[in-house]
């Protein structure tokens, strides 16, 4: 499947890759690439056709569908709690990972992104906040489609705490860019995801069979949904 490139603003793109997407933002001194998708296609070549700036690669987390083309880049950056999971995933091909820290800023020239550590979907999941453009890049932690919270790396209590953390920052963004499903989604989806996660933790949601084979059940209240065990 070929990549589909969609403009999302001035010198900003989402790159659709099967059921997941990457994001690219060009500044005056560098370009920020968020995740590398699942297919392992010629992503570096595509990115180079969109920008001539040096690429600063960030992975929101190390699930295989977010690091599929990491090997095409010299290095990546992620929260260190994700390092072991990343090293265990064969598709990383040992592309070096450098640390990002909570509250750290990535400045690409005329545009800044703040790192927000939000464990739950994985131990080292992050979001990126562009305060000037009132935009949150959420990885897999906020979506209009079911969020994976089963198996290794997942923690429902940590996820709820992370949603509480983002809620305290909600006045800083109007739009959320998720990695799956509809894009963008309104900032109100954060509240929906948080409320559904809390209902799941209280045991208030009825387990349903998932629409495709998974070692998990589907839990939803109509506003948000999770695959959980």
What is the three-state SS of the chain?
A: CCCEEEEEECCEEEEEECCEEEEEEECCCCEEEECCCCCCCCHHHHHHHHCCCCEEEECCCCCHHHCCCHHHCCCEEECHHHHHHHHHCHHHCCCCEEECCCCCEEECCCCEEEEEECCCCCCCCEEEEECCCCEEEEECCCCCCCEEECCCCCCHHHHHHHHHHHHCCHHHCCEEEECCCCCCEECHHHHHHHHHHHHHHCCCCCCECCCCCCCCEEEECCCCEEEEC
Total domains in the chain come to 1
Query: Can you give the residue range of the structural domain that contains 94?
Result: 4-228
pTM of the model: 0.97
Average pLDDT, the chain: 96
Give 82-134 pLDDT, tens digit per residue. Answer: 999 999 886 656 789 999 999 999 999 999 999 999 999 999 999 999 999 99
The whole-number pLDDT of residue 92 equals 54
What residues of the chain score a pLDDT lower than 70? 1, 90-93
Q: Domain with 34 in it: what CATH number?
A: 3.60.15.10
The whole-number pLDDT of residue 89 equals 82
């Amino acid at each position: 499947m070929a990549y589909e490139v969609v403009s999302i603003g001035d010198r900003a793109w989402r790159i659709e890759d099967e059921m997941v997407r990457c994001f690219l933002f060009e500044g005056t001194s560098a370009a920020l690439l968020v995740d590398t998708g699942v297919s392992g296609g010629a992503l570096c070549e595509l990115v180079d056709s969109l920008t001539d700036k040096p690429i600063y690669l960030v992975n929101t987390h190390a699930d295989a569908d977010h690091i599929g083309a990491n090997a095409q880049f010299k290095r990546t950056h992620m929260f260190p709690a994700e390092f072991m999971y990343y090293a265990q995933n064969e598709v990383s091909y040992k592309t070096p990972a450098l640390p990002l820290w909570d509250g750290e800023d990535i400045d690409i020239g005329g545009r800044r992104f703040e790192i927000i550590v939000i464990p739950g979907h994985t131990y080292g999941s992050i979001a990126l906040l562009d305060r000037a453009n009132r935009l949150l890049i959420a990885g897999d932690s906020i979506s209009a489609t079911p969020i994976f919270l089963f198996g290794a790396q997942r923690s429902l209590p940590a996820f709820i705490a992370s949603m509480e953390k983002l809620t305290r920052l909600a006045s800083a963004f109007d739009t959320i860019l998720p990695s799956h499903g509809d894009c963008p989604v309104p900032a109100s989806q954060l509240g929906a995801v948080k409320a559904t996660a809390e209902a799941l933790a209280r045991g208030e949601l009825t387990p349903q069979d998932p629409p495709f084979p998974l070692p998990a059940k589907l839990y939803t209240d109509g506003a948000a949904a999770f695959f959980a065990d």
